[in-house]
């Protein structure tokens, strides 16, 4: 452990969530970006073998603070964690990563709970996002509490718990909760439903305002962008008559523009273009309708965009 710490001074520090819903996808992203490392058991620091980078495994909730106020250069965390840490002005959000999408929602019991969020004003709310929720309900308190209530010191009570937030209403700790919702299965299982959304969130790559090696930050960012694009897009390759080429380009415009190559038959052209995986079946149908031939879909392992 001491040997590793001694080697950190000349390395770019990259904070990775040590567990939770962002951990595995972050590791997959690092693998795609070809950051080779070995993490020893019980150690939260790993040296990257092919770059002067040290990976530091931290709770996602702490990463914005370490990047914003410490000497950590890069980090992967959630937009919700950045907002809760009040670190927006201390870090740069350089890339949305497309995973870990969720919403921070006000939830109440389906049976007997409030129907509108203003009905919770002056009551008790349980959450693990104390700062965000306090700000949110302070605004509601200001708007919906009467002057008499304000003068009497009435305000919505925010109770902090570190986990199992969804159980708070059933166990009598609160009248409502504020928690992250991904699929909504846990919320429904607890007999809750949402009545308001405070913010939407996803995983992001964040950077210090003063990174130790800006060129290396740019290189790693470029690699990660390439991995994300490779996960999202496929390469469409097909032949089409030139009289239909303008229509074909509208179907497959690519990220910027398609590659068009001449064929021996001057009436035909070959087109290559990146296309969204989610739309590829519809794209193939449309190409076939305009007479495109030899339509091939090729997976992209990695790329630069």
* Binned average pLDDT, 10 residues per bin, the chain of 305 residues: 63 94 93 92 90 96 96 97 95 95 96 94 96 96 93 94 93 95 91 96 97 96 95 97 97 94 96 96 97 96 86
Place of tokens 């890069």: 74
Q: Which domain holds residue 182?
A: 102-200
Q: What is the pLDDT of residue 143?
A: 94
Place of tokens 């092919």: 50
Q: Which of 163, 183, 212 is the last residue of a domain?
A: 212
Q: What is the pLDDT of residue 163?
A: 86
pTM: 0.87
Domain holding 77: CATH number? 3.40.190.10
Residues 49 and 61 in one domain: yes
Q: What is the pLDDT of residue 5?
A: 59
Helix axes 23-32, 214-232, angle to 10 degrees: 100
Q: How far apart are CA 300 and CA 192, in angstroms?
A: 41
Residues 57 and 190 in one domain: no
Q: Which of 212, 243, 268 is the last residue of a domain?
A: 212
Q: What is the pLDDT of residue 9?
A: 74
Tens-digit pLDDT profile for residues 88-146: 999 999 999 999 999 999 999 999 999 999 999 999 999 999 999 999 999 999 999 99
Give the ranges where the chain is alpha helix by DSSP (H).
2-6, 23-32, 63-69, 79-84, 130-144, 147-151, 185-189, 214-232, 245-251, 280-289
- The total domain count for the chain is 3
Answer yes or no: is 258 within a domain: yes
Residues 25 and 91 in one domain: yes
Q: Which of 212, 246, 276 is the last residue of a domain?
A: 212
Burial label for 163, CB within 10 Å (0-12, 13-18, 19+), is exposed
Residue 66 falls in which region: left (phi positive, over 0), alpha (psi -120 to 50) or beta: alpha
* Structure token pair of residue 105: 């929602």
Contacts of residue 119, defined as CB under 8 A and 6 or more positions apart, other chains included, come to: none
Residues 121 and 143 in one domain: yes
Q: What is the DSSP letter of 243?
A: G
Domain holding 240: CATH number? 3.30.70.120
Q: What is the pLDDT of residue 216?
A: 96
Q: What is the pLDDT of residue 94?
A: 95
Place of tokens 């002067």: 52
């Amino acid at each position: 452990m001491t040997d590793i710490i001694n080697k950190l001074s000349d390395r770019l520090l990259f904070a990775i969530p040590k567990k939770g819903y962002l951990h595995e996808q972050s590791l997959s992203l690092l693998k795609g970006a070809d950051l080779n490392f070995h993490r020893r058991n019980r150690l939260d620091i790993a040296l990257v073998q092919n770059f002067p980078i040290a990976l530091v495994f931290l709770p996602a909730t702490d990463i914005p603070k370490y990047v914003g106020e410490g000497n950590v250069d890069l980090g992967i965390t959630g937009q919700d964690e950045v907002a809760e840490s009040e670190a927006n002005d201390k870090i740069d959000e350089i890339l949305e990563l497309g995973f870990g999408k969720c919403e921070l929602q006000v939830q109440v019991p389906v049976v007997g709970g409030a129907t509108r969020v203003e009905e919770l004003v002056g009551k008790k709310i349980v959450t693990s996002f104390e700062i965000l929720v306090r700000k949110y309900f302070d605004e509601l308190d200001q708007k919906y509490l009467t002057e008499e209530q304000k003068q009497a010191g009435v305000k919505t009570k925010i109770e902090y718990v570190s986990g199992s937030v969804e159980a708070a209403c059933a166990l009598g700790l609160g009248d409502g909760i504020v928690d992250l919702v991904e699929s909504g299965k846990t919320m429904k299982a607890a007999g809750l439903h949402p009545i308001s959304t405070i913010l939407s969130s996803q995983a992001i790559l964040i950077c210090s305002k003063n990174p130790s090696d800006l060129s290396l930050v740019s290189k790693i960012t470029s690699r990660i962008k390439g991995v994300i694009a490779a996960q999202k897009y496929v390469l469409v390759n097909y032949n089409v008559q030139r009289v239909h080429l303008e229509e074909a380009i509208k179907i497959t415009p690519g990220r910027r523009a398609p590659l068009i190559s001449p064929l021996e038959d001057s009436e035909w052209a070959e087109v290559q273009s990146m296309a969204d995986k989610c739309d590829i079946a519809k794209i193939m149908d449309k190409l076939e309708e305009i007479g495109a031939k030899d339509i091939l879909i090729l997976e992209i392992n990695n790329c630069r965009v």
